[in-house]
């Protein structure tokens, strides 16, 4: 017979341990009445809150819903919508849906990877950008398109995509300049 603790322990390797502020999660659980049937919604809102699903948050959710941790981990790893690792300040979702694909999404990907010096699924060393691929983002008329922190950019050219990244970097530098 397999020990559940061992199962849980090996599943926890998928997640990132982070000491996030769990008091913010309390509100999400209250809003969803701490019902096990609302687990997916709770996980979606948790991801919106932290940008990904931290291990400490998943343990907290399992305890509050009175569910086995392995069940919560199983749902978090089953659905591709859930991110298990921290993301950068700007999350770039590059669409790989059909309209974007036929309109040159791969050329945009090459330009972004080159500009950011990372591969798909990675975060820049300064923690500014995470680059991910996504299915249709629902704005095919802008193909090829990327979405950054919920804002759509398109139709993109490789140079246009680089410019967006550079302008976000410039904005950040200006903001830091104002703060110091």
112 vs 143, beta carbon nearer ligand FES? 143
Residues that bind ligand FES (CB under 6 A): 95, 97-100, 136-140, 143, 145
Q: How far is the CB of 164 from ligand FES (least distance, A)?
A: 16
67 vs 132, beta carbon nearer ligand FES? 132
Residue 161: Cβ within 10 Å count: 24
CB-nearest residue to ligand FES: 97
Q: Characterize 36-67 residue by residue with b for buried, 16 or more Cβ atoms within 10 angstroms of its Cβ, and e for exposed.
A: eebbeebbbbbbebbbbbbbbbbbbbbebbee
- For the beta sheet containing 90-95, the strands, ordered from the edge strand earlier in sequence to the opposite edge, are 129-134, 90-95, 146-148, 151-153
22 vs 140, beta carbon nearer ligand FES? 140
Q: How far is the CB of 41 from ligand FES (least distance, A)?
A: 24
What's the burial of 71, exposed, middle or buried (CB within 10 Å: 0-12/13-18/19+)?
A: middle
20 vs 143, beta carbon nearer ligand FES? 143
Q: How far is the CB of 100 from ligand FES (least distance, A)?
A: 3
Q: How far is the CB of 91 from ligand FES (least distance, A)?
A: 16
């Amino acid at each position: 017979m397999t020990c559940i603790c061992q199962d849980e322990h090996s599943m926890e390797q998928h997640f990132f341990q982070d000491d996030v502020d769990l008091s913010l999660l309390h509100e999400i659980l209250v809003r969803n009445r701490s019902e096990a049937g609302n687990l997916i919604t709770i996980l979606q809102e948790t991801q919106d809150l932290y940008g990904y699903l931290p291990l400490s948050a998943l343990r907290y959710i399992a305890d509050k819903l009175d569910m086995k941790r392995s069940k919560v981990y199983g749902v978090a790893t089953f659905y591709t919508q859930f991110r298990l690792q921290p993301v950068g300040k700007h999350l770039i979702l590059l669409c790989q849906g059909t309209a974007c694909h036929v309109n040159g999404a791969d050329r945009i990907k090459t330009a972004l990877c080159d500009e950011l010096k990372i591969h798909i699924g990675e975060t820049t060393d300064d923690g500014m950008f995470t680059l991910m691929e996504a299915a249709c983002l629902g704005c095919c008329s802008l193909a090829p398109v990327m979405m950054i922190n919920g804002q759509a950019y398109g139709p993109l050219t490789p140079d246009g995509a680089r410019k967006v990244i550079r302008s976000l970097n410039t904005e950040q530098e200006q903001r830091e300049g104002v703060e110091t």
